[in-house]
Amino acid sequence: MIKLRKDKYTKMKQFLYLIWITVLFAFPTKKEFSEAFIEVASNGNPAVVSIVSEKVIEQRYHQFFSPFGDQFPQGESRGHSLGSGVIIDSDEGYIITNNHVIEDAEEIKVIMFDNREVKATIVATDPPSDLAVIRVDPGGLSTVDLGNSDQLSVGEWVVAIGSPFGLHLNHTVTAGIVSAVGRSSVLSRNNFEDFIQHDAAINPGNSGGALFNLDGELVGINTAIATDGYSKANAGVGFAIPINMVKRVMEDLISDGRVTRGWLGVQIQDVDEGMAKALKLNGRHGAIISQVIKNGPAEDAGVEKQDVIIAVDGVKVDDSSNLKNLISSGRPNDKTKLTVIRDGHERKLTVTLGTRPGEKELAETFRYGEKLFDALGLRVETFENGESMSFDSLKGVKIVEIKKDSPASDNNIKRGDIITEMGKTSIKDEKDYETELNGYSKGDTIMLRIIRNGSPLYVAFEIE
């Protein structure tokens, strides 16, 4: 009996010892922990660059007049701004950075990790996301693996690399943790913001630089810092654009020169406590529809005012900024499933996304409650009349209004013209017209066959 108890006690000791050994080796040693950061810095540094932008700055002086008729002249000086960037395609020489780093630059110089200086050209920019793609001659470039920012967790370690304060501090490496994800309305509610908030030290000059996870994957592009209001220095609150948003934007910038975003055709706002109570909602998550644009994608799908959108393609909607990001990450003609709450009941709607207009046109659309003009500056309606024309069964779209100073207004297009072809494609109605027009981008040349006063003619011009 005593021997059995001793055997049991011995086995218990052995079991506890095995658990202790397992736990001990499950946690990295101090050296192993340090080596993780060393490896990220070693692999990431060669793909991070410093960017020097040069531009002309007007010196505006008050004009003081002397008794002799002289006045102080206005002058110009050349100014420099410093930022960072990340090589995302070493074969083609593409570098991602912030738009504000290279905005209005007349000359851009890129300084590599090995101190080589090369000139860069702007491929395309997207101010609403504050992203830009520039290009250098390929050759001897390093690049990085792109991660999945959706998999980032609050509390996860991240490493920032950039050029804070000046070239004498280029390729500074700092570390911190992810403080929060999905931050919006940080810079502007009009921008597309879904920031990663972190506390790795970043400062002026870090803009456009890299944010890595401990696997050495690029998970964000550092963009902004929050300060105490008296200083531009780091206060432990930095923001990075998640790499999943960066991927979507840079693909469009490289392939098309602009970002084409999905559009729902609604005005939205956050759900407050009073609205949640009045609409008998279970919480304040989601976004409430305050306006449905006439003839827009949402109206066609049956979306109504006071609907509360709580999910997009099964992804929960937190607030109006979150909804804007989810919809804009889609592409025109995508079939998108909305989950809405209407009259206390959940409904499923499928909407075919449209193309998000530019900011000026968007403001105009919301003001008048409908999208007035397309990318050509036209308003059209389906036309079909074979009796009063010299063409049998003439079909197309009739131009009912032309926007002032638009591409169409400057290129021999007139009200009443009937568009029957775009390129080599026949246009029978508004749907044909919109589908075909969505295939064109800014800078493309479009050719239209129109009927004017019974006579056909072609008109070709570039889309601005």
Identify whether 239 is part of a domain. Answer: yes
Identify whether 65 is part of a domain. Answer: no
Q: What is the DSSP string of 52-64?
A: EEEEEEEE----P
Shared domain check, 273 and 249 = no
Residues 52-73: what's their mean pLDDT? 54
Last residue of a domain, one of 135, 168, 201: 135
Residues 193-222: what's their mean pLDDT? 94
Q: What angle do CA 17, 18, 19 make, to 5 degrees?
A: 90
Segment 228-249, tens digit of pLDDT: 666 666 777 999 999 999 999 9
Identify whether 3 is part of a domain. Answer: no
Shared domain check, 226 and 167 = yes
CATH number, domain at 381? 2.30.42.10
Contact 319, 285 (CB under 8 A): yes
Shared domain check, 289 and 235 = no
Shared domain check, 315 and 223 = no
Domain range for 347 = 262-355
Shared domain check, 158 and 248 = yes
Is the pLDDT score of 385 beyond 70?
Answer: no
Is the pLDDT score of 155 beyond 80?
Answer: yes
Give Cα 112 to chain centroid, integer Å.
26
Residue, of 230 and 141, whose pLDDT is higher: 141
Shared domain check, 127 and 162 = no
Q: Collapse the DSSP code of 31 into the 3-class scheme (helix H, G, I; strand E, B; otherwise coil) and give the result.
A: helix
Q: What's the pLDDT at 67?
A: 39
Distance in angstroms (rounded) separating the CA atoms of residues 230 and 288 = 37
Backbone angles phi, psi at 449, to 5 degrees: -100, 120
Segment 426-438, tens digit of pLDDT: 999 988 998 899 8
Identify whether 118 is part of a domain. Answer: yes
CB burial of 221-239 (b: ≥16 within 10 Å; e: otherwise) equals bbbbbeeeeeeeebeebbb
* 8: Cβ contacts below 8 Å, ≥ 6 apart: none
Segment 356-380, tens digit of pLDDT: 887 777 777 777 777 777 888 888 8
Number of domains forming the structure of the chain = 4
Distance in angstroms (rounded) separating the CA atoms of residues 309 and 286 = 5
Contact 216, 206 (CB under 8 A): no
CATH number, domain at 214? 2.40.10.10
Q: What's the pLDDT at 65?
A: 40
DSSP assignment, residue 463? -
* 361: Cβ contacts below 8 Å, ≥ 6 apart: 371, 372, 373
Shared domain check, 193 and 120 = no
Among 160, 173, 132, which Cα is nearest to 219's? 160
Q: What's the pLDDT at 159?
A: 97
Segment 15-45, tens digit of pLDDT: 766 665 565 556 677 777 889 999 999 999 9
Shared domain check, 404 and 340 = no
Shared domain check, 248 and 162 = yes
* 330: Cβ contacts below 8 Å, ≥ 6 apart: 261, 262, 336, 353
Last residue of a domain, one of 206, 224, 256: 256
Shared domain check, 427 and 409 = yes
Identify whether 15 is part of a domain. Answer: no
Distance in angstroms (rounded) separating the CA atoms of residues 444 and 4 = 88
Identify whether 292 is part of a domain. Answer: yes
H-state helical runs in 27-75: 30-44
Shared domain check, 266 and 241 = no
Pull the structure tokens for residue 285. 């998550």
Last residue of a domain, one of 135, 164, 181: 135
Q: What angle do CA 208, 211, 217 make, to 5 degrees?
A: 125
Identify whether 14 is part of a domain. Answer: no
Shared domain check, 275 and 252 = no
Residue, of 72 and 177, whose pLDDT is higher: 177
Identify whether 8 is part of a domain. Answer: no
> Catalytic positions, please?
100, 130, 207
Place of tokens 């049991």: 8
Work out the number of other CB atoms within 10 angstroms of the CB of residue 242.
22
H-state helical runs in 283-441: 297-301, 320-328, 359-368, 430-437
Pull the structure tokens for residue 144. 């990085």
